[in-house]
């Protein structure tokens, strides 16, 4: 029997096995006071010292070999310098870098391929100004995108037909105030990574640190390589995917002649490089003013976001996140949500599928980030506040967020039980100003 439709439906198995057990930690703790007593820094230290002594005594030769290898490795190892790498990223007040995208073009008759590249130049100024100058495969400047991520404003200039648009989809959809490479710090600090070797750059050498992204459709291409300069310990490049799956220098068709016409194009990979932190970046580069002579083209406006849309999103996020609302108004900052949305649709469980469906529904309506969109388009400026971290789904005593709808005086709040109520600002948990 190979047909999935002949198998027992999921619902029947869910019903037979019943609902998952609900943890009651307070009760467990009351019943196991002796166990909890072991959570003690003194106990931990004694245990670890004992373990270290045991390793030294019984593996003296191996330990010595390891120490020798580590000593010679440490000189070029970036692991001792992650603190410096992370610090440089976190403290950067500006940055410039380039991005080169590689695509494989197929001829009209499908018999030949060649590599096509396009380039972009990024500029960044703290706390949230971004600019991307995009060049096509002929080296022609085709588009300029400027974004003020803090104030959720952006503008795109089309350099070929001399037009511009306001409020187009942003460069930094998941902006969270950590700068353009804050997510790299997250990976270096908290995820499983490995040192895979060295890379020669045009002006030095870099250690290559690899991270494997979970749940990618093609596991062969799930790597991200971070290049960290061995001398300065700074992040200088990122290859997506990593060198195990993509190396622009060795692409077999990299020198094939390009043709005017092609039947299809496929993405090979991209490289962010020439990263310079605290570069000299002129604030005038981020002016949200179109060049002289450019004509305004109205961008399609995303669909209105209702309170019901927001409640639906909060509900499904909380259900996926162990019946707890997301930590912040950017739900994808919460690891459980981030992982769920990056799991392949076929691999998602029931709740993750529902989350993905709700997200996709809003994405198609032009609302990629529902809370940000609701805040910027439907509430009085500065009135929206999210306080959902730690609030349990169903808790009618805790507020998840509050706001004033545009052109109204009254505050409204969404509670943990997803009810929406008018509230007096004096009853809000934090002062509104």
Partner 1 sequence: MQRSDQLLVEAACNGDIESFRELYERHYSRIVAIARSHLHDQHLAEDAAQETFAVACQKLSTLTNADRLPQWLRVICRRISHRMLRSSRRAAPLDHDPPQNNESADLSEHEDNKARLQQAVTRLSASQREIIYLRYYSDQSYQQIADLLGLTAKAVHGRLQRARRELTRQMKKSGQHNPGESTSMNIEPGAS
Please pick, from the candidates 58, 161, 192, 266, the single residue that binds partner 1 as defined by CB under 8 A.
Answer: 192
Considering the complex, what minimum distance in angstroms separates the CB of residue 245 from partner 1? 17
Residue with smaller CB distance to partner 1, 81 or 185: 185
Is residue 5 close enough to count as binding partner 1 by CB under 8 A?
A: yes
SS3 label, residue 343: coil
Considering the complex, what minimum distance in angstroms separates the CB of residue 363 from partner 1? 9
**Contact code string over 7-46 relative to partner 1, x by CB under 8 A:** xxxxxxxxxxxx-xxxx-x--xx-xx-xxx-xxxx-xx--
- Bridge pairing between strands 163-166 and 295-296: parallel
Is residue 214 close enough to count as binding partner 1 by CB under 8 A?
A: yes
Residue with smaller CB distance to partner 1, 11 or 433: 11
Considering the complex, what minimum distance in angstroms separates the CB of residue 322 from partner 1? 7
Considering the complex, what minimum distance in angstroms separates the CB of residue 172 from partner 1? 17
Q: How far apart are CA 422 and CA 408, in angstroms?
A: 11
Residue with smaller CB distance to partner 1, 38 or 161: 38
Number of residues that bind partner 1 (CB under 8 A): 68
Question: Distance of CA 96 to CAs 47, 139, 280, Å?
Answer: 47, 19, 9
Q: How far apart are CA 240 and CA 223, in angstroms?
A: 7
CA angle 123, 129, 130 (to 5 degrees): 40
Its sign, for the CA torsion 29, 31, 35, 38, is positive
Is residue 79 close enough to count as binding partner 1 by CB under 8 A?
A: no
DSSP secondary structure letter of residue 342: H
Q: What is the CA radius of gyration of the chain?
A: 26
Considering the complex, what minimum distance in angstroms separates the CB of residue 347 from partner 1? 4
The partner residues of 277 in beta bridges, in order of sequence, read: 95
**Contact code string over 230-269 relative to partner 1, x by CB under 8 A:** ----------------------------------------
Considering the complex, what minimum distance in angstroms separates the CB of residue 319 from partner 1? 10
Is residue 61 close enough to count as binding partner 1 by CB under 8 A?
A: no
Please pick, from the candidates 358, 420, 423, 428, the single residue that binds partner 1 as defined by CB under 8 A.
Answer: 358
Q: How far apart are CA 247 and CA 106, in angstroms?
A: 19
C-beta neighbour count of 337 within 10 angstroms: 22
Considering the complex, what minimum distance in angstroms separates the CB of residue 38 from partner 1? 5
* Of residues 329, 285, 311, 326, the one with CA closest to residue 147: 285
Is residue 195 close enough to count as binding partner 1 by CB under 8 A?
A: no
The partner residues of 94 in beta bridges, in order of sequence, read: 125
Considering the complex, what minimum distance in angstroms separates the CB of residue 41 from partner 1? 5
Is residue 429 close enough to count as binding partner 1 by CB under 8 A?
A: no
Q: How far apart are CA 384 and CA 305, in angstroms?
A: 14
The tokens for 125 are 């100024």
Q: Which of residues 315-354 bind partner 1 (CB under 8 A)?
A: 321-322, 327-328, 333-336, 339-340, 343, 347-352, 354
For 310, counting Cβ atoms within 10 Å of its Cβ (0-12 exposed, 13-18 middle, 19+ buried), the class is buried
Which residues, in sequence order, are CB contacts of 36 under 8 Å at separation 6+?
29
Residue with smaller CB distance to partner 1, 136 or 327: 327
Quote the crossing angle between the two packed helices 307-320 and 335-342, to the nearest 10°.
90
Q: How far apart are CA 384 and CA 414, in angstroms?
A: 11
Contact criterion met (CB below 8 Å) for 262 and 112: no
Is residue 360 close enough to count as binding partner 1 by CB under 8 A?
A: yes
Residue with smaller CB distance to partner 1, 204 or 214: 214
Please pick, from the candidates 56, 264, 289, 364, the single residue that binds partner 1 as defined by CB under 8 A.
Answer: 364
Q: Tell me which residues touch partner 1 (CB under 8 A).
A: 1, 4-18, 20-23, 25, 28-29, 31-32, 34-36, 38-41, 43-44, 47-48, 51, 190-192, 214-215, 219, 303, 321-322, 327-328, 333-336, 339-340, 343, 347-352, 354, 357-358, 360-361, 364-365
């Amino acid at each position: 029997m190979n047909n999935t439709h002949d198998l027992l439906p999921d619902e029947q198995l869910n019903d037979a096995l019943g609902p998952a057990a609900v943890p009651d930690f307070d009760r467990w703790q009351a019943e196991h006071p002796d166990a909890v007593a072991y959570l003690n820094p003194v106990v931990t230290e004694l245990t670890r010292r004992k373990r270290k002594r045991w390793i030294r005594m019984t593996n003296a030769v191996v330990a010595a070999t390891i120490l020798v290898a580590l000593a010679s490795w440490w000189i070029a190892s970036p692991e001792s310098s992650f603190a410096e790498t992370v610090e440089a990223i976190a403290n950067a007040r500006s940055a410039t870098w380039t991005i080169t995208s590689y695509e494989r073009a197929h001829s009209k008759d499908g018999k030949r391929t060649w590599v096509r590249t396009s380039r972009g130049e990024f500029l960044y100024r703290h706390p949230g100004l971004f600019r991307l100058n995009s060049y096509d495969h002929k080296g022609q400047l085709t588009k300029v995108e400027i974004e003020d991520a803090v104030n959720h404003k952006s503008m795109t200039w089309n350099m070929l037909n001399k037009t511009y648009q306001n409020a187009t989809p942003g460069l930094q959809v998941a902006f969270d105030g950590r700068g353009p490479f804050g997510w790299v710090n997250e990976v270096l600090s908290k995820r499983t990574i490995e040192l895979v070797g060295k890379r020669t750059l045009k002006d030095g050498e870099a250690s290559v640190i690899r991270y494997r992204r979970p749940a990618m459709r093609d596991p062969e291409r799930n790597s991200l390589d971070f290049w960290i300069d061995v001398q300065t310990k700074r992040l200088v490049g990122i290859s997506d995917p990593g060198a195990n799956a993509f190396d622009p220098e060795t692409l077999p068709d990299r020198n094939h002649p390009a043709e005017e016409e092609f039947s299809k194009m496929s993405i090979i990979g991209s490289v962010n490089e020439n990263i310079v932190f605290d570069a000299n970046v002129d604030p005038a580069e981020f002016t949200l003013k179109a060049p002289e002579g450019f004509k305004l083209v109205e961008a399609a406006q995303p669909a209105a976001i209702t309170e019901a849309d927001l409640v639906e999103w909060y509900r499904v996020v909380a259900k996926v996140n162990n019946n707890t609302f997301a930590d912040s108004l950017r739900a994808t900052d919460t690891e459980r949500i981030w992982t769920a949305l990056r799991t392949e649709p076929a691999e998602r469980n029931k709740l993750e599928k529902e989350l993905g469906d709700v997200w996709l529904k809003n994405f198609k309506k032009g609302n990629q980030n529902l809370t940000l969109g609701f805040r910027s388009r439907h509430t009085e400026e500065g009135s929206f506040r999210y306080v959902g971290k730690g609030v349990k789904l169903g808790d009618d005593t805790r507020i998840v967020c509050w706001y004033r709808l545009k052109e109204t005086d009254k505050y409204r709040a969404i509670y943990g039980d997803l009810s929406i109520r008018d509230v007096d600002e004096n009853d809000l948990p934090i002062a509104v100003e």
